[in-house]
Chain A
Amino acid sequence: MLLVEVLEKLNILSAAAKYDVSCSSSGSNRKNKPGGVGNAAASGICHSWSQDGRCISLLKILQTNFCVYDCAYCVNRASNDLPRAAFTPEEVADLTINFYRRNYIEGLFLSSAVWPNPNQTMEALLRTVKLLRTQYRFNGYIHVKAIPGADWRLIAETGTLVDRMSVNIELPTSESLQLLAPQKKRENILQPMKLIGSQIVESQEERKQSRKAPSFVPAGQSTQLIVGATPDTDLRILQLSESLYRRVHLKRVYYSAYVPVSTNPKLPTLASPPLNREHRLYQADWLLRFYGFEAKELLNEASPNFHLQLDPKSDWALRNLHLFPLEVNKADYRFLLRVPGIGVKSAQRILTARRFHSLDFEDLQKLGVVMKRARYFLTCKGKYFGQIPYREEAIKEKLLAKPTKVENYTQLALFSDVENQQPVQDALTSITGEL
């Protein structure tokens, strides 16, 4: 390979891929095989952090950025004048292997623009993946895009070789799609998602019967939604996520604050990407998946967007003060999880510690509870430590008091409440970029 040529291609095809936010390498425990190279780490591993503070885990590139479509929000749209390139499957495989052997990456995230049609695009992706798995005997992590509109057989075969697959929905409603990506049909996007989802469930069942049954997308399926390119509310977005988690067994929905890439009048003019909003959506998504919340508890038609100064859980708690304050020494796990400032880990630690003695206010801090939020919603041995009247406005004022100092707008900032004194296991996951 020629340096200048590959360098040029890599520059073009990584720049075009970077707006895909997922870089997760977790959830798969693919083992290395004799004579092979690579395995997947179930908890995921970050190999670097880029200048925007995001974890770099996978080599994230496009097979090509030539595109026949013209989606208004996308840099690769056909009408955009920018340098184009295409990798051969051999080039992608060689880069992946050589980066991997030097421990730069955890694996490959391969995506593509659509060129010259969905089937041929999917075929190119499949060829690359096959080359890596068979010829290069690569057993590291691979995440591949499924191209809407491609033949199911191509997608299905790819699924047997990779760890994760995703189909990006990008725009939450048909109307937005109609406006910004009129060549795309919502049904064409949802269709492969459903098929992949049911194939995953089926293969999990088979593998319960026999360990030898082939795996299918063992790290699950994900998608991405763009936030702020359309007038869609947080409520609409969150409801969509909720139904994807429930109905198509999605592993993750990623939210990507819209980065202005075009001056198309159909798109909003933004001074900067709506990072704060994206952050709130991640927090709410977390509440759906691990805290037993439902979208309709967090938002409703009357207030369909998140409060930008209050995290969604505090916001919910303030509207439901009649359920609090909670006695830490008695409360159910399910309810502990609903207390602002208590996370999954700290709730579990409260349960463990409670077995030995009843907890004081000071103990909670040691268990990793964020007291500056939790104190208003708890009692310890019957005592309330809020030190202010138990009223919505009073508490709200306190919670808002410190204009949350420059928040880290990464997914990781969600877990600041468990940063202290966690045992080894969660420390491992807390630095992987995805929990």
Chain B
Amino acid sequence: MIIYLYDGSFEGLLTAIYEAYYRSEKPEQIMAQDSYQPDLFSQPRVIATDSDKAGKVYDAIERKISHEALEHVFYVYLSELPGLGTLIYRYLQFGWRVGADINGHLSLEPVREVLRISQKVGVERHRMLGLLRFKKIQGELYYAPFEPDYNIVGLMAPHFARRLADQNWIIHDLKRGLAAFYNQERWLIRELANNTGQLNWEENEAFYQELWQNYFQRIAVEGRTNRKVQRQFMPARYWRHLIEKPTQ
């Protein structure tokens, strides 16, 4: 069984897709190098990332299939779920044949899977646009730690760059040690270890946190308590970085 291995980057994945199209030796699976477990039956082929080839695939998806398909592929990549390389490969194989109509073919497993996973990533992004909490650090800087299921920090940054355009901020994915930095002009993503040490909060920070906690407790109408719905939309795993305390 031929397995193409890429370096884990999106470019690497697209390069592998390129090679799978042109090489005669077709892969049965495509996966990131570090998730590969050698066994007796598999024949790994390491694919060197090539940004020209990746760029060609990128353009081809957009031109020959659709922009929407490109977005779905990227979202699935960001899910970091096992099997995503192979799934994207199968989805695109089919996409080259049918073009822009691809997402109408819901009876096909790879199409359904791609849409399902892409949707999950999109849902988490949207949820986090609301649930992210900034705290003000001395020196006019807002800091927001979070631990998303998927690698969405890059999907969130443009939203906050538009919205909180006149403040400096950092959105920190503690799980992946990645952060988006914004300086009132541009944002970029860099590694940032999750031992930021003791941060010095701005003087008023505790004041607004307390106001918000109070507001949160009081805004619910007694007689209509519905924790089930609350949890459904705001799963407990996200509570850690909230300012409000849904448990009380």
Chain A residues within 8 Å of B, Cβ to Cβ: 1, 3, 6-7, 10-11, 14-15, 18-19, 31-32, 34-39, 41, 45-57, 59-60, 95, 98-99, 101-104, 106, 137, 140, 257, 259, 272-273, 275, 349, 352-353, 355-357, 363, 366-367, 406, 408-410, 412, 421-424, 427-428, 431-432
Min CB gap A95→B, angstroms: 7
Select B134's contact among A38, A103, A273, A353, beta carbons within 8 Å. A103
Q: A53-B226, A275-B224 are in contact. Are A14 and B210 (CB under 8 A)?
A: no
Q: Are B223 and A272 in contact (CB under 8 A)?
A: yes
B-chain residues with CB within 8 Å of residue A102 when the two chains form the complex: 133-136, 142, 208, 212, 243
User: Which B210-237 residues have C-beta < 8 A from chain A?
Assistant: 210-212, 214-230, 232-234
Name B's interface SS. Answer: helix
Chain B residues within 8 Å of A, Cβ to Cβ: 71-72, 75, 101, 103-107, 112, 115-116, 118-119, 122-123, 126-127, 129-136, 142, 144, 160, 162-167, 204, 207-208, 210-212, 214-230, 232-234, 242-244, 246
CA distance A140 to B232 in the complex (A): 27
Q: Are A48 and B244 in contact (CB under 8 A)?
A: yes
Q: A45-B129, A412-B229 are in contact. Are A98 and B208 (CB under 8 A)?
A: yes
A-chain residues with CB within 8 Å of residue B229 when the two chains form the complex: 49, 53, 408, 410, 412
Q: Are B126 and A427 in contact (CB under 8 A)?
A: yes
Q: A19-B221, A60-B219, A101-B134 are in contact. Are A3 and B210 (CB under 8 A)?
A: yes
Residue of B nearest to A60 (CB): B219
Residue of A nearest to B233 (CB): A49
Q: Are A50 and B122 in contact (CB under 8 A)?
A: no
A-chain residues with CB within 8 Å of residue B107 when the two chains form the complex: 353, 357, 363, 366
B-chain residues with CB within 8 Å of residue A432 when the two chains form the complex: 126
CA distance A303 to B151 in the complex (A): 53
Q: Are A409 and B226 in contact (CB under 8 A)?
A: yes
Q: A46-B233, A104-B212 are in contact. Are A259 and B221 (CB under 8 A)?
A: yes
A-B contact count (CB 8 A): 192
Min CB gap A82→B, angstroms: 14
Q: Are A10 and B211 in contact (CB under 8 A)?
A: yes
Q: Are B220 and A52 in contact (CB under 8 A)?
A: yes
B-chain residues with CB within 8 Å of residue A424 when the two chains form the complex: 71-72, 75, 115, 118-119, 122
CA distance A47 to B224 in the complex (A): 19
Residue of A nearest to B227 (CB): A51
CA distance A41 to B229 in the complex (A): 23
Q: Are A48 and B234 in contact (CB under 8 A)?
A: yes
CA distance A37 to B233 in the complex (A): 27
A-chain residues with CB within 8 Å of residue B165 when the two chains form the complex: 32, 34, 36-37
Q: Are A428 and B126 in contact (CB under 8 A)?
A: yes
Q: A45-B126, A366-B107 are in contact. Are A51 and B208 (CB under 8 A)?
A: no
Q: Are B233 and A55 in contact (CB under 8 A)?
A: yes
Q: Are B226 and A408 in contact (CB under 8 A)?
A: yes
Q: Are B130 and A47 in contact (CB under 8 A)?
A: yes
Min CB gap A76→B, angstroms: 15
A-chain residues with CB within 8 Å of residue B215 when the two chains form the complex: 10, 14, 59
B-chain residues with CB within 8 Å of residue A45 when the two chains form the complex: 126, 129-130
A-chain residues with CB within 8 Å of residue B225 when the two chains form the complex: 51-53
CA distance A356 to B102 in the complex (A): 10
Q: A363-B107, A423-B103 are in contact. Are A47 and B131 (CB under 8 A)?
A: yes
A-chain residues with CB within 8 Å of residue B226 when the two chains form the complex: 51-53, 408-410
Q: Are B104 and A103 in contact (CB under 8 A)?
A: no
CA distance A275 to B225 in the complex (A): 12
CA distance A18 to B118 in the complex (A): 36
Q: Are B123 and A427 in contact (CB under 8 A)?
A: yes
Q: Are B104 and A273 in contact (CB under 8 A)?
A: no
CA distance A51 to B126 in the complex (A): 21
A-chain residues with CB within 8 Å of residue B144 when the two chains form the complex: 103
Q: Are B218 and A104 in contact (CB under 8 A)?
A: no
CA distance A404 to B218 in the complex (A): 30
Residue of B nearest to A55 (CB): B233
Query: What are 8 residue pairs bridging A and B, where the CB atoms are less than 8 Å apart in the complex?
Result: A10-B214, A51-B217, A51-B230, A53-B232, A106-B130, A410-B226, A424-B119, A427-B126
Q: A423-B103, A423-B115, A424-B119 are in contact. Are A37 and B220 (CB under 8 A)?
A: no
CA distance A279 to B127 in the complex (A): 24
CA distance A1 to B126 in the complex (A): 34
Q: Are A421 and B115 in contact (CB under 8 A)?
A: yes
Q: Are A6 and B211 in contact (CB under 8 A)?
A: yes
Min CB gap A85→B, angstroms: 13
Q: Are A18 and B218 in contact (CB under 8 A)?
A: yes
CA distance A412 to B119 in the complex (A): 18
Q: Are A101 and B167 in contact (CB under 8 A)?
A: yes
CA distance A356 to B215 in the complex (A): 52
Q: Are B214 and A7 in contact (CB under 8 A)?
A: yes
Q: A48-B234, A51-B225 are in contact. Are A99 and B104 (CB under 8 A)?
A: no
Q: Are A56 and B219 in contact (CB under 8 A)?
A: yes
B-chain residues with CB within 8 Å of residue A427 when the two chains form the complex: 119, 122-123, 126
